[in-house]
Structure 1
Amino acid sequence: MMYVIENKPDIPFRPIVCSINSITYELSSHLKDIILPLVRKRRSTVTNSKPFVEEIRAFTVSPTDILVSYDVKDLFISIPIPYTINILQDLLYTDNTLPGRTKLNPFQITKLVSFCMMEGNFFHFQGRFFKQKGGAPVGSPLSPVLAEIFMEHLEDRAFSEANQEILPRRFKRYVDDIFVLIQSGREDTFLNFLNGLFPGTISFTIEKEVSGKLPFLDSLEIRSPDRFKTTVYSSVSQGGGTAPWGRCKVLVGRWSENGQLGGVRKPGGHWYAWGRYRPPVGANGTLNSSAA
Structure 2
Amino acid sequence: MLDRHANDINTFGLSKMNIMTLVKECLSCNIFKWAGKYFSQVRGLAMGQRLAPVLAVCFMGRIEEPVLERHPLMYCRYIDDCFIVTSTQFEMDECFRLMNEQSQYIKLTREIPHNGWLPYLNTQVKVSSGVVSVKWYRKAT
**If the TM-score is normalised by the length of the shorter chain, which range does it land in?**
0.7 to 0.9
1:95 to 2:7 alignment: yes
Fraction of identical pairs, as percent: 27
Query: 1:115–1:121: 8 Å Cα contact kept in structure 2?
Result: no
1:158, distance to aligned residue in structure 2 (A): 3.3
Correspondence 1:133 to 2:38: no
2:66–2:98 contact (8 Å) kept in structure 1: no
Distance 1:206 1:151 in 2: 16
Partner SS, residue 204 of structure 1? coil
Matched, 1:205 2:109: yes
In structure 2, stretches of 5+ residues that fail to align are none
Match of 1:122 among 28, 31, 46: 31
| Equivalent position amino acid for 1:114 in 2 | K
The corresponding residue for 2:94 is: 189
CA shift for structure 1 position 153? 1.7
1:230 to partner: Cα distance: 1.7
Alignment partner, residue 49 of structure 1: none
What is the DSSP-based 3-state SS (H/G/I as helix, E as strand, rest coil) of the residue aligned with 1:103?
Answer: coil
Structure 2 residue 23 is matched with structure 1 residue 110: no
2:25 partner letter: F
User: How far has the Cα of 1:224 moved from its partner?
Assistant: 4.4
With the length of structure 1 as denominator, give the TM-score of the two structures.
Answer: 0.42
User: Cα RMSD (Å) of the superposition?
Assistant: 2.6
Q: Secondary structure at the match of 2:110?
A: strand
1:159-170 to 2 correspondences below 5 Å: 159-160=68-69, 164=70, 167-170=71-74
Alpha-carbon distance in 2 for matches of 1:204, 1:222: 21
Q: Is the 8 A contact 1:221 1:231 kept in 2?
A: yes
User: What is the CA-CA distance between 1:210 and the residue it aligns to?
Assistant: 3.5
State the secondary structure of the residue aligned to 2:55.
Answer: helix
Please say if residues 124 and 134 of structure 2, whose CA atoms lie closer than 8 Å, have aligned partners that are also in contact: yes
CA displacement at 1:211 relative to structure 2: 3.0
Question: What secondary structure is seen at the aligned counterpart in 2 of 1:206?
Answer: coil
Match of 1:214 in 2: 118
Distance 2:121 2:111 in 1: 13
Counterpart CA distance in 2 for 1:230 and 1:116 is 39
Distance 1:202 1:183 in 2: 26
| Separation in 2, partners of 1:204, 1:102 | 35
Q: TM-score, normalised by structure 2?
A: 0.81
Query: Which of the pair has more CA radius of gyration?
Result: 1
Is the alpha carbon distance of 1:145 and 1:184 closer, same or farther for their aligned partners in structure 2, counting shifts above 3 Å? same
Aligned amino acid, residue 196 of structure 1: E
Shift of the 95–157 alpha-carbon distance from structure 1 to 2, 3 Å rule, reads farther
Amino acid at match of 2:3: D
Q: Could you tell me which amino acid in structure 2 is paired with residue 113 of structure 1?
A: V
